[in-house]
Amino acid sequence: ADVSCWYSTASTRNYKQRLPQCIIIGVRKCGTRALLEFLGVHPDVTIAQDEIHFFNQDDLYYGYGIEWYRQRMPYTYDGQVTMEKTPAYFTTREVPERIHSMDPGVRLLVIVRDPVSRLVSDYAQTLANKLARNKTCPSFESMVFESGSGRVKSYFKPVWTGLYHQHLQRWLAFFSRNQIHIVAGEQLIRDPYQELVKVERFLNLTHRFTTDQFYFNRTRGFYCMRNLTSGHCLGSSKGRKHPHVDNTLLMKLRDFYRPSNRAFFNITGMTFDWD
Ligand code: A3P
């Protein structure tokens, strides 16, 4: 948010870089960029534009120390929330303990989406990256399913990223459930305002979101942000057309993810329409 904005409730003192009080830890391809940028519309939230990858890059950034991390953060006034997002945090084993040692009281946001759509979205991104470099990409089926048995490759990273309950369990070993807010990815697409108001409450922010800050852009097929002078949509790498995946493969994936989804619903006390 523009910190000079007249309706910010933050004090205009103490303008400096601070460690984040809230981090979007994942999940990759579930709407993490939309969530971050939409939250940045709030006058009391200031976002780090880039993914910092501090806690998940062992030899690189984490080794530089916490001061290096702080210096990657945007400037804020007293009372504003500093926020960054790095989706790789959610699935990286060492990260919960490291974030806990930075601040045991930090608040965490996890955005989720049907893990089957998430997987296809991840593949669509790989496909687009390969195409951009004039390279070919193996088929979805050969990447996700074993050739002989036809079993789902549960050990393949894009597949296990969608086992949300396993990852969340590791976070719950360090943080209490009420420090973690789960955002419904499908709902953020359909009605961003409603999901953002829930985050506003979770972060104890003054209610500043209004429905007219978001408008549906027919060409993009998604909500975009509006301020006094212009509109802003996410880049073209967000909201890609998904490649066709055979229905029998989708059904196999639904079966594969069902037990994990159930476990995730149990842990979170939430249910999603993913079956
Ligand atoms: P698809 O490209 O599969 O549609 P991430 O930012 O974590 O990579 O997530 C990308 C996903 O954000 C997109 O996946 C898209 O569905 C979702 N998304 C949610 N709200 C969006 C918005 N307003 N504009 C564009 N994409 C949005």
What pLDDT is stored for residue 60 in this prediction?
Answer: 87
What pLDDT is stored for residue 6 in this prediction?
Answer: 53
Which ligand 1 atom sits closest to the C-alpha of 32?
Answer: 7
- CA–centroid distance, 149 to ligand 1, in Å, is 33
- On whether ipTM exceeds 0.95, the answer is yes
CA-nearest of 215, 206, 106, 122 to 162 is: 122
The pLDDT of residue 5 is above 90:
no
pLDDT band at 230 (very low <50, low <70, confident <90, very high): confident
What lines the ligand 1 site, CB under 6 Å? 28-34, 87, 121, 124, 188-189, 222-223, 234, 238-240
The pLDDT of residue 3 is above 50:
no
Interstrand relation of 22-26 and 107-112 (parallel, antiparallel or unpaired): parallel
Say how far apart CA 143 and CA 130 lie, in whole Å: 14
Domain membership of residue 4 (yes or no) is: no
What pLDDT is stored for residue 30 in this prediction?
Answer: 98
What pLDDT is stored for residue 196 in this prediction?
Answer: 98
Say how far apart CA 55 and CA 89 lie, in whole Å: 7
Residue nearest to atom 12 of ligand 1 (CA): 31
pLDDT band at 228 (very low <50, low <70, confident <90, very high): confident
pLDDT band at 13 (very low <50, low <70, confident <90, very high): confident
Q: What is the pLDDT of residues 28-63, one digit of tens each?
A: 999 999 999 999 999 999 999 999 999 998 878 999
Domain membership of residue 3 (yes or no) is: no
* For residues 218-229, average pLDDT: 91
- CA–centroid distance, 216 to ligand 1, in Å, is 14
* For residues 233-260, average pLDDT: 97
Domain containing 23: what range?
16-268
pTM for the model stands at 0.95
The pLDDT of residue 1 is above 60:
no
- CA–centroid distance, 46 to ligand 1, in Å, is 21
Query: How far is CA 20 from its chain centroid?
Result: 15
Looking up residue 29, the CATH number of its domain turns out to be 3.40.50.300
- CA–centroid distance, 257 to ligand 1, in Å, is 21
Which ligand 1 atom sits closest to the C-alpha of 27?
Answer: 7
The count of structural domains within the chain is: 1
Residue nearest to atom 16 of ligand 1 (CA): 239
ω into residue 183 within 30 of 0, thus cis?
no
- CA–centroid distance, 262 to ligand 1, in Å, is 24
By most ligand atoms within 8 Å of CB, the mutation choice from 27, 30, 33, 112 for ligand 1 is 33
The pLDDT of residue 204 is above 60:
yes
Domain membership of residue 7 (yes or no) is: no
**What is the DSSP code (8-state) at residue 42?**
S
Q: What is the pLDDT of residues 129-171, one digit of tens each?
A: 999 999 999 999 999 999 999 999 999 999 999 999 999 999 9
Query: Quick one: tokens of 219?
Result: 């060409």
Domain membership of residue 243 (yes or no) is: yes
Q: In sequence order, what are the beta bridge partners of 24?
A: 85, 109
pLDDT band at 9 (very low <50, low <70, confident <90, very high): low
Residue nearest to atom 2 of ligand 1 (CA): 239
